């Protein structure tokens, strides 16, 4: 029960940026039925996917993350610049961007 309470508390907190994105401009957008938060700072962007997706639903997420950057910032993700905390992670990614 303690773990459930902790998970609910963390879910209520919403997306927060990695330390290197503190002070970044925050944007939010829904694409393909998935909600994303985009943090833009200088020539970098961090994209956080909100909500749960099963394994089969995750395939389009990297491309949607790039679209989220373009839609919210007016910038483009640099091809091949996507970095995730864990290989294959679709919950959070960082990109170099060009405006």
- CA-to-CA distance for 83 and 94, rounded, in angstroms? 5
What's the total number of domains in the chain? 1
| C-alpha distances in Å from residue 17, one per residue of 14, 25, 32, 56, 65 | 10, 10, 23, 26, 15
Tell me what pLDDT residue 17 has.
95
pLDDT (0 to 100) of residue 26 = 98
**Predicted confidence (pLDDT) per residue in 8-24, tens digit:** 444 445 789 999 999 99
Predicted pLDDT of residue 40: 98
pLDDT at 13: 55
- pLDDT digits 0-9 by tens, 31-69: 999 999 999 999 999 999 999 999 999 999 999 999 999
Write phi, then psi, for 8 (nearest 5 degrees): -65, -40
Are 69 and 47 contacting, i.e. CB atoms less than 8 angstroms apart? yes
Question: What range defines the domain where residue 61 resides?
Answer: 2-98
């Amino acid at each position: 029960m303690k773990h459930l309470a902790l998970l609910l508390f963390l879910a209520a907190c919403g997306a927060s940026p990695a330390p290197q994105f503190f002070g970044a401009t925050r944007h939010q957008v829904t694409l393909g039925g998935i909600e994303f938060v985009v943090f833009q700072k200088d020539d970098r962007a961090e994209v956080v996917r909100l909500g749960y997706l099963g394994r089969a639903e995750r395939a389009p997420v990297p491309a949607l993350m790039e679209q989220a950057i373009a839609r919210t910032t007016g910038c483009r993700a640099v091809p091949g610049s996507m970095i995730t905390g864990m290989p294959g992670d679709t919950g959070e990614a960082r990109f170099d961007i060009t405006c």
